């Protein structure tokens, strides 16, 4: 059966959806200290090295925030969300990072 890839949505064949990826979007404050920036980079690095995603896209939302987005598999959704929430709490980033 032929199939094709739909970016950030998954693999589809002509009869049914095989896999549907979930998109995670983080709103990250721009005006942060160097140490906070390094800790955020570490969090993103962990997400990539643990194999939850391959790339994190970054774009400007406005003058105050960046939007960081990446796709994850449905079976990793809860683990990724828990990791991000715990990381935000552990590093005091509640006013710096929010999950949209």
pLDDT at residue 22, as a whole number: 87
Q: Of 72, 80, 62, nearest to 20 (Cα)?
A: 72
Instruction: Tell me which residue range forms the domain holding 83.
Output: 21-99
pLDDT at residue 19, as a whole number: 57
In a domain, 46, yes or no: yes
In a domain, 16, yes or no: no
In a domain, 84, yes or no: yes
CATH code of the domain containing 82? 3.30.70.1130
pLDDT at residue 20, as a whole number: 60
Rounded distance, CA 85 to CA 96, Å?
Answer: 12
pTM of the model: 0.76
Rounded distance, CA 20 to CA 42, Å?
Answer: 27
Give me the tens of pLDDT residue by residue for the chain, a chain 100 residues long. Answer: 333 333 444 444 444 444 567 889 999 999 999 999 999 999 999 999 999 999 999 999 999 999 999 999 988 999 999 999 999 999 999 999 999 9
In a domain, 10, yes or no: no
Nearest 5°: phi and psi at 73?
-80, 150
In the chain, the number of structural domains is 1
Rounded distance, CA 97 to CA 50, Å?
Answer: 20
In a domain, 6, yes or no: no
């Amino acid at each position: 059966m032929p199939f094709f890839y739909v970016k950030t949505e998954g693999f589809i064949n002509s009869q049914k959806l095989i896999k549907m990826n979930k998109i995670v979007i983080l709103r990250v404050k721009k005006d942060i200290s160097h140490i906070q920036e390094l800790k955020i980079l570490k969090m993103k690095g962990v997400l990539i090295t643990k194999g939850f995603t391959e790339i994190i896209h970054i774009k400007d939302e406005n003058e105050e925030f960046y939007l960081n987005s990446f796709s994850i598999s449905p079976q990793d959704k809860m683990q990724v969300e828990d990791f991000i929430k715990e990381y935000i709490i552990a590093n005091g980033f509640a006013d710096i990072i929010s999950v949209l």
